[in-house]
Structure 1
């Protein structure tokens, strides 16, 4: 790779259904099973009657079927705990349902919440930090991926247990690279190299790059450049974030590059529909794009018989800092504190089961999410999967090479989704003629106001 110095986000995209979630996709086959997985007998139950816990999640389609299988296997593996699992809609819909139950007993025992709502969940005061259970049980978290833990650790505490994790990678059509006289084993690593390669690739009905409006990409660009997205150490120091930095040089440089690619006809703009960009890539009409690792298996499978998909690291501007790493995406599991101690302990036992190497291996090969447990890579099914899908190696290497610092941890704010909406509007304004600086200034101002209003409300 060119200047390759060094992240993982999300479920596998089923290109046939043309559905791709932000930082996420759908999963692949769930033909494997986690049956006969050992689990520690729960210490929370001393009676014959099992403890029942309710797990709310946001995994639809094939990923939801994988979750159903994992839960079925867990329930069959022991007799002290019964997990009842319920799909509650996409991340935003699920979170709204959780909010509606806060302060009552009607909500779940544990819930899957996406990465950007981590700060909100902490501030809600409605959760039991898993750190308290880790410390109580002396649970060894050294088996877990450091960079993934890094994201979910706030104020030196792990508040939730990572579950489904992805990162943002670069996809390219190896056959088109070869036909254009480019090295198919040497993907571009910088904005400038992507532009140069796009110039060679844009011909005969093919456009070099597929652009779609994905706020996660801008956040990754900051992280990879080792730059903060908000102040106060990305909102992770002793003081909460109070100001957005999306209009600083890393943001302006990134948006300017995207805009120039489009203005020079080296990229096609697919707006906010990532699935359309992926379909264009599979059809061979565009040669390069960035996206979640969760799309990897779906893209590779859909391209089979047409061309070979290559993967590389998320690109950064030439000469930018090399001390960053792409911040992870995906979601984690939270234990709600309005349940009995028995339910909370049972949820903790289930969370430990979910983080075991065998379950993480099964989850990884069935969905495309990264294992959160390093030992999962020693499982034979994972080794076999890497032989079948060597494209995962670039994503794994990118994750393992990420330097742990405030930039790669990602921003921690309670109004992250609002910030993403402001950013998306700024990109659309820039594509319609406003300068990138002016558009991002407006978005940063709105984001800063939203952050400060949230902080005031949550004092």
Structure 2
């Protein structure tokens, strides 16, 4: 009898253990996190480590990190999942995708999910592409500005002060001429990329001249405004008139390689490549504000974290936890150190790790200081179509297929037609 009772008791324990095991398994919430990799360096590995750390702290949540390739490829995959009725919980997409995502009514309003003090700790320059009115729709994450990288060793060879980068367009041309060796066959003075993100580069030149090239509400563009045309003419003149930059198309992805190999002494590029340059440059280099025409200026850039509609309550709660984890000041500081992106929260610059890093590597603080002179990246409704119109116009000018006036006038007319349905 005792043996039967003991056996029954053992069976009950096993059954209870199995039930408890099943309960534990059922309590694990899985969330999908789409992520692009758009700069040099092993960003995917860094994200994997973040996910592992989060899951260790939150064993009841599993994060499925899904790498979508470029920003545009990631956006395509995310929208396919949404349209297929299986929206991801979170995705890092361009900050400028905001109006497109709102137009499709697929993202959550984050305002009620976080307190106001939390939002206030993010830099205003980054929040400009994260909100509309008093509603916040995404969190700044891997954010950037355009900065000037320059080879200090090349400066010394050209008789230039390696601690005094150009501050104006006139100085930029003057320095670039001195740095161009053998008509560019051995070394160019400057490279500004003209594929993929040429709109971003022209936008910087426009901001340095007067103001932005679109309205804050995303409903109007100013592609053919006088200051935009002046900026575009300078972009052209660097290669065709001043002969300090290659003519025609300059690939976005090859510009950092050209800089690292000594093919160009200066480059305009995202601060998101800072750690890549720091790791691989075999020469002393500097980072500075973009030179001014009438004023300093650069658009912000990079990606924000969006939460999608149509997910269960427990998944939403898990997603909020992961968003808070990613944007913790210490992790934001480490992310900036590891990647070169600007730390998006003010409190991150008060952490010991970022204070020490900036002290030893002052180039890391240039982009943050330049935020005082930044404005939003090109963002409109139907942004993909509008951006393509502008990109094609810029490339037509740079390759000599069209004039500044003809191309920008046409771009403005075409953009107005696309944005006509959104006018009040």
Q: TM-score if structure 1 supplies the norm length?
A: 0.79
Q: Partners in 2 of 1:339 and 1:224 — Cα distance? A: 43
1:331 aligns with 2:303: yes
Q: Partners in 2 of 1:411 and 1:156 — Cα distance? A: 20
Residues 401-442 of structure 1 deviation map (CA, whole Å, 9 limit, x = unaligned)? 236xxxx13443122232332223223322315321222112
Q: Partners in 2 of 1:198 and 1:88 — Cα distance? A: 38
2:11 aligned residue? none
1:54 aligns with 2:32: yes
2:411 aligned residue? 443
What does 1:2-401 correspond to in 2, within 5 Å? 49-59=27-37, 62-102=42-82, 104-135=84-115, 140-204=118-182, 205-213=186-194, 214-230=198-214, 234-236=215-217, 240-241=218-219, 243-263=220-240, 264-269=242-247, 271-304=249-282, 307-317=283-293, 320-321=294-295, 325-399=297-371, 401=372
Higher fraction of helix: 2
1:402 aligned residue? 373
Task: Tell me if structure 2 keeps the 8 A contact 1:160–1:333.
Answer: yes
Q: Partners in 1 of 2:117 and 2:295 — Cα distance? A: 36
Task: Tell me if structure 2 keeps the 8 A contact 1:270–1:276.
Answer: no
Shift of 1:250: 2.1
Task: Tell me if structure 1 keeps the 8 A contact 2:151–2:286.
Answer: yes
Against the structure 1 CA distance between its residues 149 and 331, is the aligned structure 2 distance closer, same or farther, given a 3 Å change threshold?
same
Q: Partners in 2 of 1:188 and 1:59 — Cα distance? A: 31
Aligned CA RMSD, in angstroms, stands at: 2.5
Task: Tell me if structure 1 keeps the 8 A contact 2:192–2:250.
Answer: no
1:412 aligned residue? 379
Q: Partners in 2 of 1:363 and 1:269 — Cα distance? A: 36
Q: Select the structure of larger CA radius of gyration.
A: 2
Task: Tell me if structure 2 keeps the 8 A contact 1:50–1:79.
Answer: yes
Which sections of structure 2, spanning at least 5 residues, go unmatched?
1-23
Looking at both structures, which has the greater relative contact order when contacts are Cα pairs under 8 Å and sequence separation is at least 6?
1
Q: TM-score if structure 2 supplies the norm length?
A: 0.85
SS at match of 2:167: coil
Residues 81-111 of structure 1 deviation map (CA, whole Å, 9 limit, x = unaligned)? 2222211232112212222233554121111
Against the structure 1 CA distance between its residues 93 and 206, is the aligned structure 2 distance closer, same or farther, given a 3 Å change threshold?
closer
Q: Partners in 1 of 2:397 and 2:171 — Cα distance? A: 23
Q: Partners in 2 of 1:277 and 1:103 — Cα distance? A: 36
1:41 aligned residue? none
Q: Which segment is superposed worse, 369-378 or 286-295?
A: 369-378
The runs of at least 4 consecutive aligned structure 1 residues that moved more than 4 Å come to: none
Which sections of structure 1, spanning at least 5 residues, go unmatched?
1-45
Task: Tell me if structure 1 keeps the 8 A contact 2:191–2:250.
Answer: no
